[in-house]
Amino acid sequence: MYHVHLEKFEGPLDLLLYFIRRDEIDIYDIPIARITADYLQALEDMKRFNIRVAGEFVEMAATLIRIKAQMLLPRPSLTEETPEDPRSQLVQQLLEYQQFKHVARELERLAAEQGRFFPRGKEQDPPGGEEDPEVYFRQVDIYDIARYFRKAIQNRPMIRTYDLQREPVDLEDQKAFLLAQFDQTGRCSFTALLSRLETRTEVVVTFMALLELMRQSLVMCVQESLFGEIMLYQTSRHQA
């Protein structure tokens, strides 16, 4: 029998992903009865060791039990409309959380490289090599970008239904999408870019794509006025 220490997990989705990875489960076809049993056992372990169970863990337990009950209901006949898979919302939440975790790891990695790619305190010349002491110019770092993307995610509603046949948003595709947004001068408004992203998933993957392009020195983000719009520059078109 496996014993799980819940204090090392950030929340119920983190715990469920642990079970999915441990048992090599297909996230699109979760054996709900088995994973519910594992989850409830983990909660019992917490109570046995007098560890307070957070409300969000209890709420997820109720959700798993509800899904399990729905899965036991008779399936409709071939002539009836096929109902939504009871697991679809859980699958969507797990996929989104998995991507957020990936972003967090990427941020940690890039933070370690920040001194090499985005040195603090270094004066920057505007793209094109022009120097003007009266012009405000600041190269935006990854933390500024993360803040804007986080706000964009919060402004988009969580998807309540999920098509199990839908392909996930691909990182390479989103890098190509991002590069296609630059105008003929090699510029792109950050606000304009975000306005073209419809879902939380697109926002998250585009964030990862932008970080990768910045790491490769293909794109730079700058702020040309105090509290002004963040602009993206395609570096190949703005070299001195």
DSSP string, 58-103: HHHHHHHHHHHHHHTSPPPPTTSPPPPPTTHHHHHHHHHHHHHHHH
Does a structural domain hold residue 33? yes
Predicted TM-score of the model (pTM): 0.54
In sequence order, the β-bridge partners of residue 188 are 232
**124 and 233 together in one domain:** yes
**150 and 229 together in one domain:** yes
DSSP string, the chain: -----GGGSSSHHHHHHHHHHHTT--TTS--HHHHHHHHHHHHHHHHHTTPPPPHHHHHHHHHHHHHHHHHTSPPPPTTSPPPPPTTHHHHHHHHHHHHHHHHHHHHHHHHHHHHHHS-TT---PPTTS---TTS--EE--HHHHHHHHHHHHHTSPPPS---TTSPPPPHHHHHHHHHTT--TTSEEEHHHHHHT--SHHHHHHHHHHHHHHHHTTSEEEEE-STT--EEEEEGGGS--
**124 and 42 together in one domain:** no
Write out the two tokens for 34: 């088995």
**126 and 199 together in one domain:** yes
C-alpha to C-alpha distance for 88 and 94, rounded to whole angstroms: 10
Does a structural domain hold residue 82? no
C-alpha to C-alpha distance for 199 and 230, rounded to whole angstroms: 21
C-alpha to C-alpha distance for 128 and 235, rounded to whole angstroms: 9
Does a structural domain hold residue 90? no
CA end-to-end distance (rounded Å), the chain:
63
Q: How many other CB atoms are there within 10 angstroms of residue 76's CB atom?
A: 10
Q: Taking Cα atoms as reference points, which of 219, 157, 231 lies closest to residue 188?
A: 231
C-alpha to C-alpha distance for 220 and 142, rounded to whole angstroms: 10
Does a structural domain hold residue 94? no
**53 and 149 together in one domain:** no
Does a structural domain hold residue 108? no
Q: Give the pLDDT confidence score for residue 77 in this predicted structure.
A: 62
Per-residue pLDDT of the chain (240 residues; tens, 9 = 90+): 445 555 577 778 889 999 999 999 999 999 999 999 999 998 888 777 766 777 888 889 999 999 999 988 877 665 566 678 899 989 988 987 887 777 766 656 655 555 454 444 444 454 555 544 444 456 777 667 777 777 777 676 654 444 434 456 678 999 999 999 998 889 999 889 988 988 777 888 888 888 889 888 899 888 877 667 888 999 887 654
How many structural domains are present in the chain? 2
Does a structural domain hold residue 28? yes
Domain span at residue 28 reads: 6-71
**145 and 230 together in one domain:** yes
* Spatial CB neighbours of 201, under 8 Å, sequence gap ≥ 6: 95, 96, 99, 159, 168, 169
Does a structural domain hold residue 31? yes
